[in-house]
Amino acid sequence: MPIIVSAAEVVPPYEIKQEQVTKFARDLFSDTFTDIDRLLRAFPNGQIETRHFVKDLSWYRERHTFEEKNKTYIEEAVQFGKEAIEKCLNNSDFLKTPIAYEEIDAILFISSTGISTPSIDARIMNQLPFHSHTKRIPIWGLGCAGGASGLSRAFEYCLAFPEAKVIVLSVELCSLTFQPGDVSKSNLIGTSLFADGIACALVCGDDCNLNEFGQKRAYPSIIATESTLMQESLDVMGWDVKDDGLFVVFSRDIPHIIEEWLKPIVDHFLARNRRTLKEIDHFIAHPGGKKVLDAYKKAMGFTSSMTDLSFQVLKHHGNMSSATILYVLRLYLERDIPRGSYGLCTALGPGFSSELLLLRWVE
C-alpha cells in the first residue's frame, strides 16, 4: 500500500499572540456588538496561544481590495510553497538521501484561500527543476478537509502507478481573506481561530524501493480512504464570494454535527476494512478548534491523549484550514510508532463533508 514517507511545514514570519488578536477584535467589533465582552470569551476559551500570519497585524487594520489581497496570496504562496517542497524532499529526519525533483510524478496542490491561473504549482515548477511531464493536480475549495483529501488522492494515484512519488502541497493564507468591514459573528469567530500555514507531504507507491531512501524503521501506509458528503448542508461552512473578496461562512452547529453525524460514518468505514475504533492506536485529526476536538472525543469515545498532538498544533498555530492536518501528521511521523499500529486520519470541510484515511505503520 502507498506510504507517507516525509512531511514538512513552513511557519509564516509574523507570530501573533492571542491576546494581541483579542485586542484587535475588540477595537474592530466593539461598536457593533453590545455583548462584545461575552463574545470575546471565544478567544481565550479556544485555548489558542499563538498563530502565524504572512503580514504584520497592522496590515489587517486597513482595507485591501480583492485584487490586492489575491496578488499577495500568489506571491506568498509561491515563496512559501516552494520552501515547503524543498524541506519535505530534503528532510533528513525521514529520508536517508534527498528526493530529486525530477523523480516526482505528480503534484497535488491544495488551497481554498486564493485564486491563481496558472495555478501555484505551475508557478513553483518554473522555480524548481521538476520534470516537465510532472502531472499537476490543483484542488480548490475543500477547505479544512483539503489536506486529508490530498493524501487520499495521492493514495489513489500511487495505487494506479505503484512506482510513483507524489507530493501533496497545501498553502492556506487564511489571514488574507480577513474582512475588516464584515461585522458578522462568523467573522468574529473566524478571527479567533484561523491562521496561515504551509505544509508538504511525500507519498510513495509500492514499487519505489523505500529501503534505498527511507530513514525510519516504520512509516504509515494508507490502507483505505473514504469521502462523504452530507446532503443539504451547503450553509455549514465555506465562503460567500463578494466584490471585496471571500467572506467566511461558519456555522455554530459544527461541533453538534460532528457528534451526531460522524461516528456512524467512521464505524461503517472501519467495519468495511475489518477494523473497529478500539483497534485505532492514533487519531490524526484536523483540529478545527477546541470545540471540534472535544466533539471528536465525545463522538468516538477517545481519551484526551488521542487528540494531544492535534491540540498541540491548534495551540501553537491555530486552524490553518487544509494545511493543519499535515502539521499534525508530521508530528506523528517524528514518533517511533511500532510496526502494526493503526491510525485514523480525519478532517471535515465545506460540503459539508468528511475525509477519512485508515493508516497502518509498516517497515
**Residues 202 and 64 placed together within one structural domain of the fold:** yes
Crossing angle between the packed helical segments 18-29 and 185-193, to the nearest 10 degrees: 160
In a shared domain, residues 232 and 256: yes
224 and 196 fall within a common domain: no
Q: Are residues 223 and 196 in the same domain?
A: no
Note whether 115 and 242 are same-domain residues.
Answer: no
Are residues 100 and 134 both part of a single domain?
Answer: yes
- Is residue 196 located within the same domain as residue 59? yes
pLDDT of residue 245: 80
My answer on whether 122 and 182 are in the same domain is yes
pLDDT of 195: 95
> Is 144 among the residues known to form the active site?
yes
Q: What is the pLDDT of residue 116?
A: 95
Residue 159: the pLDDT is 97
For residue 191, what pLDDT is reported? 83
CATH assignment of the domain containing 96: 3.40.47.10
- Please count the structural domains in the chain: 2
End-to-end CA distance of the chain: 12
Angle (CA) 146 356 235, round 5°: 55
pTM: 0.94
Same domain, 10 and 88: yes
Tell me the torsion sign for CA atoms 248, 249, 255, 258. Answer: negative
Output the pLDDT for position 27. 81
For position 327, what pLDDT does the model report? Answer: 98
Q: Which of 187, 212, 237 is the last residue of a domain?
A: 212
Residues 136 and 206 grouped into a single domain: yes
Task: Give me the tens of pLDDT residue by residue for the chain, a chain 363 residues long.
Answer: 999 999 999 999 999 998 898 888 888 777 777 778 887 887 888 889 999 999 998 898 888 999 999 999 999 999 999 999 999 999 999 999 999 999 999 999 999 999 999 999 999 999 999 999 999 999 999 999 999 999 999 999 999 999 999 999 999 999 999 887 777 777 777 888 899 999 999 999 999 988 899 888 899 999 999 999 988 878 788 888 888 888 888 777 787 788 788 899 999 999 999 999 999 999 999 998 888 898 899 888 898 899 999 999 999 999 999 999 999 999 999 999 999 999 999 999 988 899 999 999 998
Boundary-marking domain end, from 197, 212, 227: 212
- Active-site residue among 88, 144, 200, 208? 144
Residues paired with 73 in a beta bridge: none
Which grid cell sits at 108?
Answer: 497535488
289: containing domain? 219-362
Is residue 267 located within the same domain as residue 161? Answer: no
Q: Are residues 199 and 344 in the same domain?
A: no
Q: Which of 163, 192, 212 is the last residue of a domain?
A: 212
